[in-house]
Amino acid sequence: MSMNWCGLVAIAASLLLAPADASAASAEKGKAFFIQYGCFQCHGTVGQGGNAGPKLAPDPLPYEALANFVRTTNRQMPPYREAVLPNEDLADIYAYLQSVPKTPDYKTIPLLNE
């Protein structure tokens, strides 16, 4: 499959992946799903990232971009298709990532300035 064709598929997928009712998503449920679906295994329990996966939160990618990646990735992360991770649960996970508080500037943390 050419890169152009991949791009078209990604755009189309992102249009389909927009949550039907973003306001109904639950950060509390999303926190549990983040563990249950194994997201925390590489990204940490607050989406902080680690040596196995990049930072997801705070300030997550726009929902469409994140959902598109989750559904179609062919990189180190395995794709989570809807049969594995339903749209509603993904929306809850996104709500959880949005709820993660901002990271302080490291200069305000004494241990990171030694």
Instruction: Supply 69's token pair.
Output: 């990646």
Instruction: State which residue, 3 or 23, has the beta carbon closest to other proteins.
Output: 3
Instruction: State which residue, 14 or 43, has the beta carbon closest to other proteins.
Output: 43
**Minimum distance from residue 89 beta carbon to other proteins (Å):** 11
**Minimum distance from residue 26 beta carbon to other proteins (Å):** 19
Count how many residues are written for the chain.
114
State how far the Cα of 83 lies from the Cα of 78, in Å rounded to an integer.
14
**Minimum distance from residue 45 beta carbon to other proteins (Å):** 6
Instruction: State which residue, 21 or 114, has the beta carbon closest to other proteins.
Output: 114
CB atoms within 10 A of CB 45: 12
Please report, as ranges, the residues that interact with other proteins according to CB under 8 A. Answer: 35-36, 38, 40-42, 44-53, 55, 58, 74-76, 78-81, 83-84, 103-106, 109, 111-114
**Minimum distance from residue 23 beta carbon to other proteins (Å):** 27
Instruction: State which residue, 8 or 112, has the beta carbon closest to other proteins.
Output: 112
Long-range (24+ apart) CB contacts under 8 A made by 11-15 are: 13/68, 13/71, 13/72, 14/64, 14/65, 14/67, 14/68, 15/64
H or E segment at 32? Answer: helix 27-36
